[in-house]
């Protein structure tokens, strides 16, 4: 069945219950405001503090938007792009699109005007729905986008080049009779994160979305009483597919705007959150704030918080060890996935396997996994190879890119580009990205392994290891190191610390600098290579 049927079921069974809460802690306001009140007073941003909607209102909002799109000629198979920051409007708009049989096309909020236009054209989007944060970027390309396309603005003070979401949906019916949808119908186009080049358009069917919901609920056991704290951007498969656990259980979720440790802990405390999905940098920030005394746990009510899970990038063992020392009663899970596999869960650690922290885990619910060599033959247990996954969450294709599709899809298997190995107990250890492997003097170096070691130093906040050109060895490992606040360290000190590593794994170069990460927490290694590898003058100055 299509994912929209879960929303309609929740509206029938839990209609008057709160399903979504939006919190922006940057703004302080004593009273709580409803969706309607917020719309009326939004021009004064100081009142934006907390909003909430019920399952009935959620479904009604989705129906109104579906009716609007239908009135404007959008039909099954058309595409509607979403360019918005997290907020209460995001998910009803997403589901309104799906109800029409059109495809939802979420866009990264960091995209430049040129990237927005590129992705719109690649996905063949017929509509762009955008919010206040993007007026300037959209205005730059409005003339080009509006050729045969509809621009819909969500917010107050609608710009002249767009149509107003609020006024248009207010006049639409709250019931919707749409086309019959099946698991085999196309549902969404997501874009790859772009850490390895320009984003590709990833096509998924309704089957993928429903599979993601079942996987999430199976892995983390969401009940109707759970409350999920969602912080990452909803345009990304990770955030939305974890929220699908709330959708399938009909439980409440909180959309938090802000990532400061005190914001996260305050939201968990006040909203009685039981499940929190974090990215590695946010978990590190929470630990450092607690360990430094900047945040005091006794100021928050956290006893109901039962599960913390992490995904989107490799998780240092040292981080989880520190976390369990502070939160000994927390369940923990690591989730591995790609946008091509409808986000997290094709491999996961499992809350019962915390003794295996450091591994990404075992095949997720409804997934198959194998590790293969360069000829795509399975390797022996313990050998390093490319990770491949198979299941209902695998993408249909890269949209309009047959060559790229054929490179990664074969007989239903998705070849991830991630290098992995299986330990003696059958647990999978993520070694590194295939293209991030450093070949130094004929030896394969896996940056993640070096990064995990360097992070064990108490002075290190973050680290990224990349390969830099070397005349003799071909490549050498360079460690870009971000220190904790108010901490000092010399190259000599870190080099001495790295003597514990085998000689061939020790970084040849040390650079103290900030680590760039994208909105989903992944280290932007292409940017680092450009900064420290492509420009010889910079390399000479910084690397000696």
* CA gap 166, 39 in Å, rounded: 8
32 and 112 housed in the same domain: yes
Q: Burial level of 297, CB count in 10 A (0-12/13-18/19+)?
A: exposed
Query: Mean pLDDT across the chain, nearest whole number?
Result: 88
Pull the structure tokens for residue 192: 């790859």
Pull the structure tokens for residue 478: 């360079």
* CA gap 39, 424 in Å, rounded: 57
Sign of CA dihedral 317, 319, 320, 324: positive
What is the SS3 string spanning 400-468? CCHHHHHHHEECCEEEEEEEEEECCCCCEEEEEEHHHCEEECCEEECHHHHHHHHCCCCCEEEEEEEEE
pLDDT for 33: 45
Say if residue 109's pLDDT is above 80: yes
pLDDT for 31: 41
Which residue, of 375, 401, 433, is where some domain finishes? 433
Q: Is residue 520 part of a domain?
A: yes
Q: Which of 124-133, 389-398, 491-500 has the lowest mean pLDDT?
A: 491-500
Q: Is residue 259 part of a domain?
A: no
Question: In 3D, which of 532, 340, 529, 308 has the Cα closest to residue 418?
Answer: 340
Higher pLDDT, 534 or 79: 79
CA–CA distance from 382 to each of 354, 373, 421 (Å)? 20, 12, 6
396 and 455 housed in the same domain: no
Which residue, of 433, 461, 493, is where some domain finishes? 433
User: Under a CB-based contact definition with an 8 Å cutoff, are residues 239 and 266 in contact?
Assistant: no
392 and 506 housed in the same domain: no
Section 180-186 average pLDDT: 95
Q: Which of 38-47, 188-197, 262-271 has the lowest mean pLDDT?
A: 38-47
Higher pLDDT, 443 or 165: 165
371 and 315 housed in the same domain: yes
Q: Is residue 521 part of a domain?
A: yes
Number of C-alpha atoms within 13 angstroms, CB side, residue 13?
12
Q: Is residue 109 part of a domain?
A: yes
Sign of CA dihedral 502, 504, 505, 508: positive
- The partner residues of 415 in beta bridges, in order of sequence, read 388
Section 233-237 average pLDDT: 89
Q: What is the DSSP letter of 500?
A: G
411 and 466 housed in the same domain: no
Residue ranges in 72-153 assigned as alpha helix (H): 90-99, 113-123, 135-145
329 and 400 housed in the same domain: yes
**Domain count across the chain:** 3
Q: Which of 266-270, 311-315, 478-482 has the lowest mean pLDDT?
A: 311-315
CATH number where 521 lies:
3.30.300.30
Q: Is residue 140 part of a domain?
A: yes
pLDDT for 185: 96
Section 426-432 average pLDDT: 85
pLDDT for 432: 66
Q: Is residue 406 part of a domain?
A: yes
Section 81-104 average pLDDT: 97
pTM over 0.75: yes
197 and 329 housed in the same domain: no
* CA gap 527, 480 in Å, rounded: 12
User: Under a CB-based contact definition with an 8 Å cutoff, are residues 10 and 19 in contact?
Assistant: yes
Sign of CA dihedral 286, 291, 292, 296: positive
11 and 126 housed in the same domain: yes
52 and 188 housed in the same domain: yes
Q: Is residue 490 part of a domain?
A: yes
* Residue 373 pLDDT level (bands cut at 50, 70, 90): very high
183 and 64 housed in the same domain: yes
Say if residue 406's pLDDT is above 80: yes
Q: Burial level of 120, CB count in 10 A (0-12/13-18/19+)?
A: buried
Return phi, psi of residue 511, to 5°: -130, 125
Return phi, psi of residue 312, to 5°: 85, -20
Higher pLDDT, 367 or 456: 367
Where residue 110 falls (left for φ over 0; alpha for ψ -120 to 50; beta otherwise) is alpha
pLDDT for 160: 94
Which residue, of 205, 229, 262, is where some domain finishes? 205
CATH number where 329 lies:
2.30.38.10
Say if residue 157's pLDDT is above 60: yes
How does pLDDT run across 515-543, given as a tens digit for each residue? 888 766 677 877 888 788 644 333 333 33
- The partner residues of 146 in beta bridges, in order of sequence, read none
pLDDT for 88: 94
* Residue 443 pLDDT level (bands cut at 50, 70, 90): low
pLDDT for 39: 37
Q: Is residue 184 part of a domain?
A: yes
200 and 314 housed in the same domain: no
Say if residue 379's pLDDT is above 80: yes
Say if residue 464's pLDDT is above 60: yes
- The partner residues of 363 in beta bridges, in order of sequence, read 347
pLDDT for 441: 61
* CA gap 297, 283 in Å, rounded: 15
Of the chain, the end-to-end C-alpha distance in Å amounts to 60
Other Cβ atoms less than 10 A from the Cβ of 501: the count is: 14
* Residue 280 pLDDT level (bands cut at 50, 70, 90): confident
Structural domain for 379, as ranges: 306-433
Residues 6+ apart with CB under 8 A from 327: 302, 305, 308
* CA gap 55, 98 in Å, rounded: 17
Say if residue 212's pLDDT is above 70: yes
CATH number where 105 lies:
3.40.50.12780
What is the SS3 assignment for 168? Answer: helix
User: Under a CB-based contact definition with an 8 Å cutoff, are residues 348 and 333 in contact?
Assistant: yes
* CA gap 340, 193 in Å, rounded: 11
What is the SS3 assignment for 120? Answer: helix
* CA gap 229, 274 in Å, rounded: 8
pLDDT for 36: 42
* Residue 350 pLDDT level (bands cut at 50, 70, 90): very high
390 and 496 housed in the same domain: no
């Amino acid at each position: 069945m299509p994912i929209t049927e879960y929303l309609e079921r929740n509206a029938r069974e839990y209609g008057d219950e709160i399903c979504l809460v939006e919190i922006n802690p940057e703004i302080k306001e004593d009273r709580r405001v409803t969706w309607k009140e917020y719309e009326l007073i939004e021009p004064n941003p100081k009142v934006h503090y907390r909003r909430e909607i019920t399952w009935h209102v959620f479904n009604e909002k989705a129906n109104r938007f579906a009716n609007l799109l239908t009135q404007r000629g959008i039909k099954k198979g058309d595409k509607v792009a979403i360019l918005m920051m997290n907020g209460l409007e995001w998910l009803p708009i997403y589901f309104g699109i799906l109800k029409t049989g059109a495809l939802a096309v979420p866009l990264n909020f960091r995209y430049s005007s040129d990237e927005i236009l590129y992705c719109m054209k690649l996905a063949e989007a017929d509509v762009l729905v955008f919010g206040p944060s993007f007026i300037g970027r959209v205005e730059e390309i409005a003339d080009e986008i509006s050729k045969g396309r509809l621009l819909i603005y969500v917010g107050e003070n609608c710009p002249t080049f767009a149509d107003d979401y609020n006024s248009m949906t207010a006049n639409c019916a709250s019931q919707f009779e749409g086309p019959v949808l099946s698991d085999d119908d196309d549902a969404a186009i997501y874009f790859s994160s772009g850490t390895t080049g320009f984003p590709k358009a990833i096509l998924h069917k309704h089957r993928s979305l429903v599979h993601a919901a079942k996987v999430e609920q199976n892995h983390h056991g969401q009940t109707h009483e759970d409350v999920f704290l969602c912080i990452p951007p909803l345009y990304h498969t990770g955030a939305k597919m974890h929220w699908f656990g709330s959708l399938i259980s009909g439980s409440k979720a909180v959309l938090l705007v802000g990532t400061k440790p005190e914001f996260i802990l305050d939201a968990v405390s006040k909203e009685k959150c039981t499940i929190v999905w974090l990215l590695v940098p946010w978990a590190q920030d929470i630990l450092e704030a607690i360990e430094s005394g900047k945040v005091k746990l006794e100021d928050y009510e956290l006893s109901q918080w039962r599960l913390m899970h992490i995904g989107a990038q490799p998780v240092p063992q040292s981080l989880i060890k520190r976390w369990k020392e502070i939160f000994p009663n927390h369940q923990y899970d690591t989730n591995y996935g790609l946008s091509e596999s409808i986000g997290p869960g094709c491999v996961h650690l499992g809350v019962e396997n915390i003794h295996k922290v450091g591994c990404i885990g075992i095949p997720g619910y409804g997934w198959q996994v194998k590790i293969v060599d360069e000829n795509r033959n399975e390797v022996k247990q313990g050998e390093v190879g490319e990770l491949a996954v198979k299941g209902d969450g695998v993408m249909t294709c890269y949209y309009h890119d047959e060559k790229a599709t054929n490179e990664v899809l074969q007989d239903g298997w998705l070849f991830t580009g991630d290098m992995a190995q299986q330990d003696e107990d059958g647990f999978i250890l993520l070694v590194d990205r295939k293209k991030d492997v450093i070949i130094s003097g004929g030896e394969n170096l896996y940056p993640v392994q070096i990064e995990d070691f360097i992070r064990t130093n108490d002075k290190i906040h973050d680290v990224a290891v990349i390969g830099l050109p070397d005349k003799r060895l071909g490549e050498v490992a360079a460690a870009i190191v971000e220190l904790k606040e108010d901490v000092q360290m010399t190259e000599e000190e870190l080099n001495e610390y790295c003597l514990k590593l085998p000689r061939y794994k020790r970084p040849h170069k040390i650079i103290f600098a900030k680590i760039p990460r994208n909105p989903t927490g992944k280290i932007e290694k292409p940017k680092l290579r450009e900064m420290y590898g492509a420009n010889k003058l910079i390399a000479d100055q910084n690397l000696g």
